[in-house]
Each structure stands twice: as C-alpha cells, then as structure tokens.
Amino acid sequence: MTTKKKTIRKNKQIQKKFVRTDEIELHEGDVLVYRGSRSGKNWQFRMWIAEDKKYFRQALKTKDRETAVARATELYLTTQTKLRTGEKVFDTTLGELVEVYMNEQKQRIRVGAVGKGDIGITEGRFVTIRTQVERHLVGFLGIDTKLSTIRKDTFRHKYTQYRRKNNPLVQDVTLVNERATIGNVFRHALELGWIQPAQLPLWEEMAKNANKRDAFTQKEWKEFYKYLHSWSNKKMGAKELRERDFIKYFILLLANTGLRFGEARLLRWGNISIFSEDKVVKSKIKVEFGKTGKRVVIGRRGDLFQKIKKLSQYTNNDDYVFVDGSNGEQLATKTYYRYWDEIIKNTSLKDKQPKPVYYCLRHTYATFRLYADVPIDKLATNMGCSVTFIEKHYGHVQQEKISKTLTQNWKKDESSKFIMEL
C-alpha cells in the first residue's frame, strides 16, 4: 500500500464527516478543487506533496467556479516552483529552524571551518550561541511558532522587555550580541527560502555606549591584581586551592595576551612555547580555533605556564592547559564564572557599571598595550581583529595620547625655535 493510500485510509473517519458537494480535478488529477458540507459555497484547494507525504490544502476564498479554477492553477504552479527550487511548501516552525541552524553551528566547530565568509567558531562560542538561540530566542517566541506569523516588528521593544523581565540586570552589550545572533538565525531562514526579506527583525535603538569596551583603569587593575594573589593563598582544601590557582593564572593570561575567553579555555600544551627575551619570560601561543581563524599570539608572562605545569598532572601535548584535576577534562565553564563573581564581589569593582566580565581583561590588555605605544596593526594581528576594530573601540587612547603631544611644552632647541617663529 502506497503512502498516499495509507494517508487516505487514515483520514477516512474525517472524510466521512465532510461530504463534497462539488469537485474538479485539474492537472491530470494532481489538484482537486472542491467544496462541501463544511466549506459552504467557497471552493478549496488540495494537492498531494510526495516529499512531505501529506496533502497541501488552502482555501481559495471564492464562490465562483471559474475564479476558483484560475486561483487553483496559479497556486499549483507556485507550489511546483517551490518544489523545484527546494523551498518548503508547508509552514516551518521556529523549532525546525533552530534545529537546522544549531546543527550548522556545531559543524563549524567540528571542521574548524575558517575562510572568507565562513568563520569557524570555538566550543565556547558555540555554547554562547546555543544559550542565545535555544534559551532566549525560543523562550521569547515559543518553539512551535510558525515562521509565517513572524513580522519585522515582532522583536522591536518586546524582546528587550522580555529579557529585562527575566533578568533586570542584563547589560545592553549582552542584548546587542543576542540581537546579532538572532539576526543571523533569520538570515539563515531567508537563505533557505523559509521567510521573506520583509520578515527580518527590526530593533529599537540601544544606548550609544552599548558596544563600549570597558577596560580596567590602572588603579582598578592594581586593586584587582593585589586581591587576586591573596585570594588564592587562603587556607582551603587541595581541590579548591588548585582550582583557584588555575583561575588566577587564567585571568593573568587573558590580561597579558588579549586572548578571548574561549580561545584560552581551549588551549592545549602543544599550542604553547615559552622563550626568554630582554630578561622577560614570554609566551608564543598557537590559537587553533579563534574567532577569526588561526593565529600566533605573542604575550608576556610565559612564567604562568611554568607555574601551571607544577599544578597539573596533565601536561602532554594533547592535554588541555586548564583542566579539572580529577579527570583531565576542561575546567567547567561554571567554575570560571563562580570564582570570577567571588573576586569581583570582594573588590571595589562590584560597584563598576556595567559589571566587569572576563572580556574586560581583553580590553584592558588592548588599552594598556596602546598606552605602551604598540603599533595598532601589530596589536590587531596579535588580538585577531581588524585595525578598524581597534580604532573604533579604543580610539579614546589615541585621542588622549595625541592631546598630550599637542599640548606638551616646547623644548628649547633650534628646531622648535624655528617652528615658533613661523
């Protein structure tokens, strides 16, 4: 028995309740135009979709026979075009879209895809995307929501209200990042032909400083650094002390290299080289799964890796640098955040707005290096970002340096005298 016959048989009970009073077969029986006991005088459209193994039905919204036939023919041709081009005939749910999108993101981790227009992501970035999509996006819309019901204004103001209702402390920069991911999800749906361009989300304007990268000031960093050392020297159990030391070295690594959280967390010993230069122990780090691809990072504090090796039982090339001492697996994400929150709460940084996060260490690194006169292009290469990005987010450093240069006192030499006379 064919699938079509099985479906017809399965629906016999329903068919008994519905009596057709008129019916017209079109396109060699592929299309049935009909009306009956429940549709009144209005005509209906029915077409078997073999790919989905079910009927596609639609009301033709007319009582006139000729108009019904014309509309049915037009609908048939449109449906055939969709089938030929791979477009979905039946309405897709948000759940289906999320499944397809997340599977693609997972694949980007597996293959480490890095190229023009196809940037690989780290495991840490994947976790972030999964939270943004499966928790926040699905929580807002509902997993069974039909994509056809989504309009360009569906998210405007409402999404922000939804997020702040569930988390009043959520930062603007967090919402901006979530918007970007949600936009990517729906652009993917557009590429698949599941939505129309007019359905792409529109957002309300956020505060101008929503993308501002907050770095620690020298005073804040001095306090933070001082507390960090006392924090991991308290009398405590061996397991907790080891975890605190790992977190301390992790924090110092980010601040001295500009590595992203996910990049540092994925480091293996085979990625690390230590060398001495100018009486300073430095590090050469091969980033395998960076946000913008592979790169080599040169940083200070190569001694951190020497100290970590003394703590860890897992120091082979394939072992993670930052590990759970009991099993050699990656240190859990929640462990990083639990200890970070504890550190922040015990310093004056607890009053800093927005609340400091691990990413602040990357911004602190960039800011301090610019003050140290590191060329922007060299810094951008080391951090795995563009010169434009550096100029956009850390331009205030350059402005301050220029201001000092433009307002400094003239030196009493012949060249300055000549310039002054001009």
Domain-located, residue 417: no
For residue 354, the model assigns a pLDDT of 77
Both 287 and 156 in one domain: the answer is: no
Q: What is the dihedral of CA 328, 330, 335, 336, to 10 degrees?
A: 130
For residue 64, the model assigns a pLDDT of 93
Both 118 and 64 in one domain: the answer is: no
Both 177 and 227 in one domain: the answer is: no
Both 223 and 195 in one domain: the answer is: no
Give the separation between CA 175 and CA 179, rounded to whole angstroms. 6
Query: Which CATH number fits the domain that encloses residue 132?
Result: 1.10.150
Alpha carbon separation from 284 to 81, 291, 385, 415 (Å, rounded): 55, 18, 18, 43
Q: Please answer whether residues 113 and 288 qualify as being in contact, where contact means their C-beta atoms are separated by less than 8 angstroms.
A: no
Both 192 and 139 in one domain: the answer is: yes
Domain-located, residue 206: no
Both 32 and 158 in one domain: the answer is: no
Both 166 and 264 in one domain: the answer is: no
Give the separation between CA 249 and CA 302, rounded to whole angstroms. 11
Give the separation between CA 276 and CA 175, rounded to whole angstroms. 43
CA gyration radius, the chain: 30
Both 133 and 69 in one domain: the answer is: no
Both 100 and 238 in one domain: the answer is: no
Domain-located, residue 295: yes
Give, in degrees to the nearest 5, the angle at Cα 83 between 78 and 89: 70
For residue 134, the model assigns a pLDDT of 95
Question: Residues with Cβ < 8 Å from 130, sequence gap 6 or more?
Answer: 102, 105
Domain around 369:
218-394
Both 56 and 175 in one domain: the answer is: no
Domain-located, residue 76: yes
Work out the burial of residue 187: count CB atoms within 10 Å of its CB; fewer than 13 is exposed, 13-18 middle, 19 or more buried: middle
Nearest to 340 by CA among 227, 260, 262, 259: 227
**How many structural domains are present in the chain?**
3
State pTM to two decimals: 0.57
Low-confidence ranges of the chain (pLDDT < 50): 8, 12-16, 112-118, 410, 412-422
Both 139 and 118 in one domain: the answer is: yes
Both 293 and 264 in one domain: the answer is: yes
Domain-located, residue 368: yes
